[in-house]
């Protein structure tokens, strides 16, 4: 399991477009993916969950990936959160 | 046989059509709570899954349509809606709760969405609050499919329809297919509503503001829609049908007579060229503009990009639209007008008593640089095609020009730093549509590359008349000497500073006005594509000295009706070839 703090650097926060990119990517992996913010954990494969976290630019979240492809999943998804994809 | 009935409304888009009513229901779906017997629970979950599938199909076809309409991959925002639709969390929760609560799918789905909508609605973030509309967009589609409501989308309107509705939202308006939809009639709205603008852009007749329309008309009824007179005729008599057949035939013959002018140069008899270009709303209209003989796009309105998307499109999305349009029009120029949006269109919780005098257009853009910057960057990047020009709407003060130019410069420096290519000599102009801009045009001319006179708003502001207000709209007349004198002032001021001056309001397409504007020295006239052949025909019958004489005299009358009477007489006398055109 990989579990690390990531700061959202994506210009628009994790709003609809980056959020949909995130979910589309997350769905490609077998691993369980979650995002936690202020103690609330949601599935990284659910756009509604992610939106309700209201991640603005600069907010800190914990990205967790767990499964066979957890390493690749973590790398790809971290980039989206940091606006580097 | 049913009795003929004439329903009156406001004529907002010209033309006549005969078709079958298609009522587009925008009413709310009624959600009832019904207990489900245990042995049917699995079927209920299955029914929910089927509704989701059907909705996904609908959304995909809408996405396809929008992309076609706007020309490029613009409908990415619908991806978010599709993801919301397929959201595992929601599907699992709903399926689970149907089983545990033994309740119907509509009710549970509505409850679950409501919880999410409430969470997002309570967010401090404007953007997230606005996503509530997306949730209900998707949700309503699913619910309609669950309760078996038909006509849930303007996409599947059958051929030969007259679209009837209470109102049509901007995102739905963008989906109207003019091949199937012959005309539009709605209960609400005025000349500047989305429906009106869309109908004019698609060149289909439209009548808006028809009171209690939906109680008077039924799906499948045969009607005639007259967009010239602003009426919808229910169960027309054979005599009426005969009359309108004649009208339609005349219209077709008239268009045939004009069509050879599309190809001809826009020159007066003595050889002065006036650039005749097109005002367009949607990317796809470029084809019609070219076909009609436009020498460029004199006004590309960008509001629809915003309204269709229900939010600011990203730089990339905007760039693709501007770039594609520039490529299609090359080497002819494309003038992109930055957002002319009212504050209420951007911020859902913002309302004002007097929008025309309020926070709109450049005022909103300058107050939200982050938002404005995205648009400027997209325009500048598209300027690598070397035919893009940019124009600011509703400038009223010198400070606004200075500020907009400073922002513009900031963006160009940023692009240079990023080594992004753009046109260093891009022309930057302003709309002259406020009295202050017209009066101060000598001073303003030194800071811009061109003026484009927005005669509709200028008339409205100069005469203090809201043309959408029935009680005063008769006072709106762009031939008012006060308006004409200001136009002269602006053209003279522009020429003194060696910049070109165009006009992009309805006046540009008025056959009576063309000799006058040519006489005043106008350099460019921009109008809806459909008006171009006629404008060319008129222009080609004129000579500059005669136009100058007409202009000189026209400005000295006391009122609009005197000006019109004079122009009518002059045209009948000097240019018999174009007499009687209106």
- Mean residue pLDDT of chain A comes to 88
DSSP state string for B251-279:
HHHHHHHHGGGGTS--B-TT--B-EEEEE
- Residue B578: band (very low, low, confident or very high) from pLDDT cuts 50, 70, 90: low
CB contact under 8 A, B87 and A47: yes
Q: Residue B546 to residues A82, B272, B534, B562, B571: CA-CA distances in angstroms? A: 66, 13, 20, 19, 10
CB contact under 8 A, A47 and B84: yes
Side-chain half-sphere exposure of A54, counting CA atoms within 13 A: 17
> Interface of chain A against chain B, CB under 8 Å?
12-13, 15-17, 19-20, 23-24, 42-43, 45-49, 51-52, 54, 56
- The model's pLDDT over B408-435, given as tens digits with 9 standing for 90+, comes to 999 999 999 999 999 999 999 999 999 9
Q: What is the mean pLDDT of residues B319-336?
A: 95
Contact status, residue B235 vs residue B5, Cβ threshold 8 Å: yes
Q: How many CB atoms within 10 Å of residue B37?
A: 9
Q: What is the structure's pLDDT at B192?
A: 65
Q: Residue B284 to residues B66, B289, B325, B328, B469: CA-CA distances in angstroms? A: 11, 9, 9, 10, 32
CB contact under 8 A, B89 and A20: no
Q: What is the structure's pLDDT at B577?
A: 61
Our CA-based measurement puts residue A46 at a distance from the nearest CA of chain B, in whole angstroms, of 5
Integer Cα distance of B254 and B402 in angstroms: 47
- Mean residue pLDDT of chain B comes to 90
CB contact under 8 A, A20 and B131: no
Phi, psi of B575 (to 5 degrees): -125, 70
Q: Among B53-62, B189-198, B227-236, B391-400, name the one with the lowest average pLDDT.
A: B189-198
Phi, psi of A41 (to 5 degrees): -105, 135
Burial B401-411 (b: 16+ CB within 10 A, else e): beebeebbeeb
Which member of A24, A48, A56 has the closest CB to residue B89?
A: A48
Pairing between strand A60-66 and A32-37? antiparallel
Active site residue A15: yes
Q: What is the mean pLDDT of residues B239-262?
A: 91
Integer Cα distance of B80 and B370 in angstroms: 23
Which member of B83, B90, B127 has the closest CB to residue A23?
A: B83
- The model's pLDDT over B349-374, given as tens digits with 9 standing for 90+, comes to 788 888 889 999 999 999 999 889 99
CB contact under 8 A, B127 and A24: no
Of B80, B97, B177, nearest to B138 by C-alpha is B80
Active-site pick, A4, A13, A14, A15:
A15
Contact status, residue B514 vs residue B534, Cβ threshold 8 Å: no
Helices (H), B388-440: 398-417, 435-439
A-interface mutation test, from B76, B118, B128, most A Cβ less than 10 A away: B128
- A54 vs B contacts (CB less than 8 Å): 120, 123-125, 128
Integer Cα distance of B276 and B296 in angstroms: 8
Q: What is the structure's pLDDT at B185?
A: 96
B-interface mutation test, from A43, A51, A56, most B Cβ less than 10 A away: A51
Contact status, residue B343 vs residue B352, Cβ threshold 8 Å: yes
**What's B103's DSSP letter?**
B
Residues of B known to be catalytic = 194, 504
Q: What is the structure's pLDDT at B537?
A: 93
Our CA-based measurement puts residue A52 at a distance from the nearest CA of chain B, in whole angstroms, of 6
Integer Cα distance of B132 and B349 in angstroms: 13
B-interface mutation test, from A48, A53, A54, A57, most B Cβ less than 10 A away: A48
ipTM of the complex: 0.83
- The model's pLDDT over B257-300, given as tens digits with 9 standing for 90+, comes to 999 999 999 999 999 999 999 999 888 789 889 999 999 999 99
Phi, psi of B233 (to 5 degrees): -110, 120
Greater confidence (B493 vs B256) lies with B493
Integer Cα distance of B138 and B113 in angstroms: 10
Q: Residue B351 to residues B210, B258, B347, B521: CA-CA distances in angstroms? A: 25, 45, 8, 41
- A16 vs B contacts (CB less than 8 Å): 77, 80, 127, 131, 134
CB contact under 8 A, A47 and B128: no
For residue B427, the surrounding DSSP H or E stretch is strand B427-432
Q: Omega before B331 cis (within 30°)?
A: yes
Query: E strands of chain A, at which residues?
Result: 2-7, 32-37, 40-43, 60-66
Torsional sign, CA B562, B563, B564, B568: positive
Q: Residue A66 to residues A25, A43, A69, A82, B505: CA-CA distances in angstroms? A: 15, 12, 8, 20, 61
Query: Between chain A and chain B, how many beta carbons pairs sit less than 8 Å apart?
Result: 57
DSSP state string for B142-161:
HHHHHHT-----GGGPPTTE
């Amino acid at each position: 399991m990989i579990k690390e703090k990531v700061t959202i650097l994506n210009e628009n926060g994790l709003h609809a477009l980056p959020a949909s990119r995130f979910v589309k990517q997350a769905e490609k992996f077998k691993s369980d993916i979650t995002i936690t913010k202020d103690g609330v954990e949601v599935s990284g494969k659910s756009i509604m969950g992610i939106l309700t976290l209201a991640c603005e630019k600069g907010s800190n979240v914990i990205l967790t990936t767990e499964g066979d492809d957890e390493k690749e999943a973590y790398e790809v998804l971290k980039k989206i959160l940091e606006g580097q994809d | 046989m049913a009795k003929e009935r004439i329903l009156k409304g406001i004529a907002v888009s010209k033309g006549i059509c005969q078709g079958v009513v298609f009522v587009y229901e925008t009413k709310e779906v009624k959600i009832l709570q019904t207990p489900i017997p245990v042995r049917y629970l699995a079927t209920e979950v299955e029914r929910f899954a089927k509704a989701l599938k059907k909705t996904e199909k609908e959304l995909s076809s809408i996405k396809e349509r929008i992309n076609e309409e706007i020309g490029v991959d613009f409908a990415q925002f619908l991806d978010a809606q599709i993801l919301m639709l397929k959201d595992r969390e929601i599907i699992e929760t709903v399926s689970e709760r149907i089983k545990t609560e033994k309740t119907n799918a509509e009710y549970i789905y509505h409850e679950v969405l409501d919880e999410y909508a409430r969470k997002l609605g309570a967010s401090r973030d404007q953007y997230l609050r606005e996503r509530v509309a997306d949730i209900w967009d998707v949700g309503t589609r699913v619910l309609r499919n669950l309760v078996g409501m038909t006509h849930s989308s303007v996409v599947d309107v059958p051929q030969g329809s007259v679209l009837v509705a209470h109102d049509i939202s901007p995102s739905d308006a963008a989906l109207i297919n003019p091949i199937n939809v012959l005309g539009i009639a709605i209960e609400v709205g005025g000349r500047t509503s989305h429906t009106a603008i869309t109908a004019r852009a698609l060149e289909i007749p439209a009548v808006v503001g028809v009171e209690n329309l939906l109680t008077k008309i039924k799906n499948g009824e045969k009607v005639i829609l007259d967009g010239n007179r602003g009426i919808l005729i229910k169960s027309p008599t054979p005599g009426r049908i005969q009359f309108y057949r004649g009208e339609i035939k005349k219209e077709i013959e008239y268009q045939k007579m004009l069509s050879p002018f599309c190809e001809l140069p826009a020159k007066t008899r003595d050889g002065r060229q006036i650039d005749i270009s097109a005002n367009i709303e949607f990317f796809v209209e470029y084809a019609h503009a070219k076909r009609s003989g436009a020498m460029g796009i004199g006004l590309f309105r960008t509001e629809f990009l915003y309204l269709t998307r229900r939010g600011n499109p990203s730089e990339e999305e905007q760039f693709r639209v501007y770039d594609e349009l520039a490529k299609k029009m090359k080497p002819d120029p494309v003038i992109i007008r930055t957002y002319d949006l009212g504050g209420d269109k951007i911020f859902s919780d913002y309302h004002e008593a007097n929008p025309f005098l309020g926070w709109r257009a450049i005022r909103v853009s300058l107050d939200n640089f982050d938002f404005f910057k995205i648009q400027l960057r997209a325009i500048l990047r598209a300027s690598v095609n070397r035919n893009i020009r940019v124009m600011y709407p509703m400038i009223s003060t010198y400070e606004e020009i200075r500020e907009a130019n400073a922002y513009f410069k900031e963006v160009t420096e940023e692009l240079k730093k990023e080594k992004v290519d753009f046109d260093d000599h891009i022309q930057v102009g302003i709309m002259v549509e406020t009295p202050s801009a017209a009066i101060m045009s000598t001073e303003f001319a030194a800071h811009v590359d061109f003026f484009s006179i927005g005669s509709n708003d200028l008339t409205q502001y100069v005469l203090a008349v809201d043309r959408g207000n029935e009680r005063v709209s008769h006072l709106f007349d762009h031939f008012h000497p006060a308006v004409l004198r200001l136009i002269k002032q602006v053209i003279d001021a522009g020429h003194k500073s060696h910049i070109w001056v165009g006009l992009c309001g309805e006046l540009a397409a008025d056959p009576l006005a063309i000799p006058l504007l040519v006489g005043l020295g106008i350099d460019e006239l921009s109008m809806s594509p459909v008006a171009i052949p006629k404008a060319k025909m008129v222009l080609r019958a004129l000579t500059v000295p005669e136009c100058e004489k007409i202009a000189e005299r026209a400005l000295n009358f006391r009122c609009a009706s005197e000006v019109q009477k004079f122009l009518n007489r002059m045209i009948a006398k000097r240019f018999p070839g174009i007499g009687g055109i209106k």
